[in-house]
A and B are shown apart, each in its own frame.
Chain A
Amino acid sequence: MPPAELAGRYRFVARGFLSTDPEVLRQAAAPLDPHEMTLVEGALSGDPTELEKEYVRLFLSPAGAPCPLWQSAYSEEGILMGDDHASALEWYRAHGLEPAHDTEPADHAGLLLAFYAHMLESGLSADELAAFHQRHLSWLSQLCDRIAAHAQHPFYRLLAIMTRQLVAGASEAAPRLPDGGSGA
């Protein structure tokens, strides 16, 4: 897959972890292929509040979030702002960037994915891409496992599948929802 196309997919999943505005998500889905766009459109077709409720329940819940969005939360220490935050920040800065909200950890799944999309389009070497991928994207399979186990909303089930496939390098395969779950 050409880097620009791959980057478009990364931008979409990044946005999926950052926004619950269906319009924003639809726009981000533009680079996807028609089958995927149909799935996304279907997954977003319900009440927009349900999307926000599910996002909060999965990722932020004051009743204990089952799927935290920060890489450090999956480290051995299990607390935020650890080495993963510092490392992500170093990568961003090396590219002249930093998170806009400095009260939030830099190792947020959405930031890491958006940044990787940026790297793909910046013509970096395969080594450089692989280094970031290994350091900061491989943990996303754990996040996707948790989303798969906990998500009820079709959009997040789809997002987990797409993210897992992207990160596993299996992006060419079209995503399918398990158990006949329908996004359409």
Chain B
Amino acid sequence: MALSRRSFLQITSAAGAGRLLASFGDVFRAAQPTPLAERTLITACGVCDSACGIRATVRDGVLRFMEGLPEDLQGRGYLCPASALASGQMRTLPEDLQGRGYLCGKGKAAAALLYDPDRLKYPMKRTNPAKGLEVDPGWVRISWTEALDTIAARFREVLDRHGPEALLFVTRPAPDLWLRFMRSIGAVNRVDHIDTCYTADRIVQRYTVGGKSWCNDLEHARYILLFGWDLVARNKLVFTHGIVAAKEKGAKVVCFNPEYSITARFADEWYPIRPGADLAVALAMIHVILSENLFDKDFVQNYTNFPQYESQIRQHFAQYTPEWAEAESDVSAEVIRHLAREFATMGPSIAPAHKKTLCANYANSGQLCHAISILNILAGTIDRPGGRFFPRSVSIPGVDAIVPPPPYPAVKGRRVDGKDKLPLVLEDGSGLFSTLADGMLNKYPGMIQAAFINSYSLLSFPSPQRMEQALKTVPFVVVMDTLPVDATSLADIVLPSITYLEGNDVLARDYHAPWPQVIARQAVVPPMFEAKSIGFVAVELGKRLAPDYFKNPDGSWISPAAILDEKARRLGLAANIAEFAAQGIYSKEQPFVPRTSFATPGGTGKCQIYVPQFPEKGAEPLPVWKKRRDLPSPEFPYYYLTFIPAVHRRNSTENNAILHEMFPENAAMINPALAARLSIREGDRVRIRSRAGAIELPAHLTETLRPDCVMVAHGFGHRSKLLSLAGGKGARDGEVIPDWSVEEMIQAGDWFGAGAIMDAVVNIEPVRA
């Protein structure tokens, strides 16, 4: 038998291994038989909520390669750049419906997050009581047990002394185990970023058509009307595919955006609308469609409350003439008329609204979302081919269905974000980022005694500088994350979180679901270092603080793994999650049957153009014109816009080595005409100042922006030293955006809780050396 040099070495040296083990047995062990075989695993991307399908190649415990999943309706076999570049290679598999075999860059670069040297690795506690972004906390490692015991003890003390209102959770309401934990202790103060993203649209869609849907059947639309919508630039592959497919089939695309955006480049007509005036154009388009009776008669008569409220509706929109809208929006009356006529007659037509696009983030965005919803209703395409449709989703049983809890305690106490003053937001269940700092600093100073922050950075807030002040008033702060975000520096305890590539879940698809699809998310590699899931933390804190809610009927503790197995079993997918993960995706094609009844409040089964429930909740039953929150003035003459670059996700990917190389730093985008007036050249440092704060960054001159605007990418300006790549790079866009009080929100007529993060006006000046 021929013996290779290596194997000879192995045989001769194995006997000597004991010597090393004697002195370093804590860090070495005798080699085990190694599964050297390469494995291919299916999972779901977790960079954004699209959850595109991924096929991951793992060699010897290391993720080597990721590609889109061709069977997947959502990613349709593609990965976005954030996922793909991770492995340095990408491949396209065009059969899949959603990613179509692709992953976007964010998805593909995800391994660079998994293996980021800056990752949080072990639980830690601070030893220096002084807090500040520039103060060394004196971190020391602690065990998970010590971390959980400490958190539970402090939370217990706060609950006993101050009640549940003194606990703040800056977390999503997911996963179900975490929600159960918060409910089990009667948590009243939970906030997440949804108000700066899509709360307004979610509320409006529920009342007008019976539920928020992400599904836009762009592919079968003949006319696509986009208010600020730039999801192609967000790298939401499913929508990119839709726009491209629609264009291939000859659809017309019209785009309103102060910037000639990535999506605008697909448009047949682009209108550089005045920021915050989309509402005026939408109202005037409704005016034209109604006054000329161009709406879809069958749909409007049979499936909406138009017949019941026709006179109110017609009378209301009579005031919003195209000539009036022209004066507000810089879009000509003639254009508004011709677009309204085309939209109503060239269909199927669709006007999507989605997430952090320009339209969902003005103080008047609730009104705008209502107007957009009415346009879709008048086009007759709600849940129809070529329109917005409801996902044919699968309801995944939650932990409360699998192990019913004892009755939860009543939710009592003051709301630090003031959302109890906004009935529509209160029933929506989301909290408010934009009013949180005001609540903590001005309304209820000292009320919050402990906070738990999961996967949110200070950058997520308007006026992060105010949020930093607010967090410093909290005596005990826990931060759980994958990376050292800004908030980590203010934490008392830091918990290392897994990435989606290290965790298990079962997910229903809702971004493009003409038929039911379920996808498995499985750990393609074991968690790095001592990272754990938020589900684990929920159960462990639950055991310590509310044990009755975390027991199975036989008295044993609830196990996140067993819950997942049971979900897979109850869905009829497989005997357990591992078995389902081996299949990866469930997707069963079924004919699309359009809805004839719509689950709007009030029980009529009709879409509601006129929302009779709104007045009792503060809002108007029909959308009314409201100006944006801040208008240009001599002191602050320019509009301030922000955007998320295509290769980044919110503010969580800037330290990704691959994505950092693609988009390392933000700049102040300024039209050359404005720059010339202000004597600013390409690359000059400029100071952008608003009533909230000021930032400095280099100028980038671009013809793509209206000359009365400045635009800055979100997600940069992580504080120095925090992240080895992103730390200190660029400016925090939010420092210029005023946060506000709930009273100001109400005064602005924003009953829908929109974060108003696009409403800032600023001054721009060159910084002379």
How would residues 78 to 100 of chain A score, 1 for a CB under 8 Å from any chain B CB and 0 otherwise?
A: 11111001100100111111111
In angstroms, how far is the closest chain B Cβ from the Cβ of A27?
10
On whether the beta carbons of B139 and A56 are closer than 8 Å, the reply is yes
B296: interface (CB < 8 Å): no
How would residues 702 to 746 of chain B score, 1 for a CB under 8 Å from any chain A CB and 0 otherwise?
A: 000000000000000000011111010000000000000000000
Stretch at the interface among A33-41, A64-72, A135-143, A171-179: A64-72
Question: CB within 8 A of A100: which of B29, B117, B530, B727?
Answer: B29
A169 to B331, CA, bound (A): 75
Question: CB within 8 A of A95: which of B9, B114, B124?
Answer: B9
Stretch at the interface among B10-18, B152-160, B615-623: B10-18
A62 to B138, CA, bound (A): 10
Minimal Cβ-Cβ distance residue in A for B530: A103
A155: interface (CB < 8 Å): no
Interfacial chain B residues near A73, Cβ < 8 Å: 117
Question: CB within 8 A of A97: which of B28, B114, B139, B727?
Answer: B28
A78 to B667, CA, bound (A): 25
A73 to B527, CA, bound (A): 18
B31: interface (CB < 8 Å): yes
B116: interface (CB < 8 Å): yes
On whether the beta carbons of B721 and A97 are closer than 8 Å, the reply is no
A45: interface (CB < 8 Å): no
A2 to B92, CA, bound (A): 57
Minimal Cβ-Cβ distance residue in A for B656: A79
On whether the beta carbons of A95 and B13 are closer than 8 Å, the reply is yes
In angstroms, how far is the closest chain B Cβ from the Cβ of A143?
12
How would residues 1 to 26 of chain B score, 1 for a CB under 8 Å from any chain A CB and 0 otherwise?
A: 00000100110011011011101111
On whether the beta carbons of B116 and A79 are closer than 8 Å, the reply is yes
Given contacts A52-B141, A63-B137, A81-B115, contact A100 B27 (CB under 8 A): yes
A17 to B62, CA, bound (A): 24
On whether the beta carbons of B31 and A64 are closer than 8 Å, the reply is no
B291: interface (CB < 8 Å): no
On whether the beta carbons of B29 and A94 are closer than 8 Å, the reply is no
On whether the beta carbons of A102 and B526 are closer than 8 Å, the reply is yes
Q: Which of B34-53 contact A (CB under 8 A)?
A: 34
Interfacial chain A residues near B119, Cβ < 8 Å: 80
B765: interface (CB < 8 Å): no
Interfacial chain B residues near A52, Cβ < 8 Å: 140-141
On whether the beta carbons of A62 and B494 are closer than 8 Å, the reply is yes
B32: interface (CB < 8 Å): yes
Interfacial chain A residues near B121, Cβ < 8 Å: 60
Question: CB within 8 A of A78: which of B27, B62, B117, B529?
Answer: B117
Interfacial chain B residues near A56, Cβ < 8 Å: 124, 139-141
On whether the beta carbons of A96 and B17 are closer than 8 Å, the reply is yes
Query: Most chain-A Cβ atoms within 10 A of its Cβ — which of B13, B26, B111, B723?
Result: B13
On whether the beta carbons of B26 and A62 are closer than 8 Å, the reply is no
B30: interface (CB < 8 Å): yes
On whether the beta carbons of A53 and B127 are closer than 8 Å, the reply is yes
On whether the beta carbons of A97 and B29 are closer than 8 Å, the reply is yes
Q: Which of B100-134 contact A (CB under 8 A)?
A: 111-112, 114-122, 124, 127
On whether the beta carbons of B137 and A98 are closer than 8 Å, the reply is no
Given contacts A64-B723, A70-B117, contact A94 B13 (CB under 8 A): yes
On whether the beta carbons of B139 and A95 are closer than 8 Å, the reply is no
Question: CB within 8 A of A63: which of B32, B114, B484, B725?
Answer: B484
Interfacial chain A residues near B63, Cβ < 8 Å: 81
How would residues 267 to 282 of chain B score, 1 for a CB under 8 Å from any chain A CB and 0 otherwise?
A: 0000000000000000
Interfacial chain B residues near A68, Cβ < 8 Å: 117
Chain B interface size range:
35 or more
A61 to B119, CA, bound (A): 9
On whether the beta carbons of A81 and B120 are closer than 8 Å, the reply is no
How would residues 113 to 134 of chain A score, 1 for a CB under 8 Å from any chain B CB and 0 otherwise?
A: 0110110011010001000000
Minimal Cβ-Cβ distance residue in A for B113: A79
Minimal Cβ-Cβ distance residue in B for A79: B115
How would residues 24 to 64 of chain A score, 1 for a CB under 8 Å from any chain B CB and 0 otherwise?
A: 00000000000000000000000001001100110011111
Given contacts A110-B27, A111-B28, A114-B23, contact A94 B10 (CB under 8 A): yes
Minimal Cβ-Cβ distance residue in A for B14: A96
On whether the beta carbons of A103 and B62 are closer than 8 Å, the reply is no
A83 to B122, CA, bound (A): 24
Minimal Cβ-Cβ distance residue in A for B30: A96
On whether the beta carbons of A63 and B489 are closer than 8 Å, the reply is yes
Query: Most chain-B Cβ atoms within 10 A of its Cβ — which of A49, A63, A99, A100?
Result: A63
Question: CB within 8 A of B118: which of A65, A115, A128?
Answer: A65
A104: interface (CB < 8 Å): yes
Query: Most chain-A Cβ atoms within 10 A of its Cβ — which of B30, B117, B657, B722?
Result: B117
A100 to B21, CA, bound (A): 10
Given contacts A95-B16, A98-B32, contact A49 B118 (CB under 8 A): no
A102 to B525, CA, bound (A): 11
In angstroms, how far is the closest chain A Cβ from the Cβ of B494?
5
B400: interface (CB < 8 Å): no
A118 to B20, CA, bound (A): 6
A73 to B121, CA, bound (A): 15
How would residues 244 to 271 of chain B score, 1 for a CB under 8 Å from any chain A CB and 0 otherwise?
A: 0000000000000000000000000000
On whether the beta carbons of A100 and B9 are closer than 8 Å, the reply is no
On whether the beta carbons of A100 and B28 are closer than 8 Å, the reply is yes
Interfacial chain B residues near A82, Cβ < 8 Å: 115
Question: CB within 8 A of B19: which of A18, A72, A121?
Answer: A121
Question: CB within 8 A of B127: which of A49, A86, A115?
Answer: A49
B441: interface (CB < 8 Å): no
Given contacts A63-B137, A102-B526, contact A79 B111 (CB under 8 A): yes
Task: Supply 26 A–B pairs (Cβ within 8 Å), ascending by A.
Answer: A14-B24, A18-B26, A52-B140, A56-B124, A60-B124, A60-B139, A60-B141, A61-B484, A62-B120, A62-B137, A62-B484, A64-B724, A72-B117, A78-B725, A80-B528, A93-B31, A96-B17, A97-B21, A97-B31, A98-B31, A100-B28, A100-B29, A102-B61, A102-B526, A115-B28, A118-B17
**4 smallest beta-carbon distances between A and B, as pairs:** A96-B14, A73-B117, A118-B20, A80-B115
Binding site for B on A (CB under 8 A): 11, 14, 18, 49, 52-53, 56-57, 60-65, 68, 70, 72-73, 77-82, 85-86, 89, 92-104, 108, 110-111, 114-115, 117-118, 121-122, 124, 128
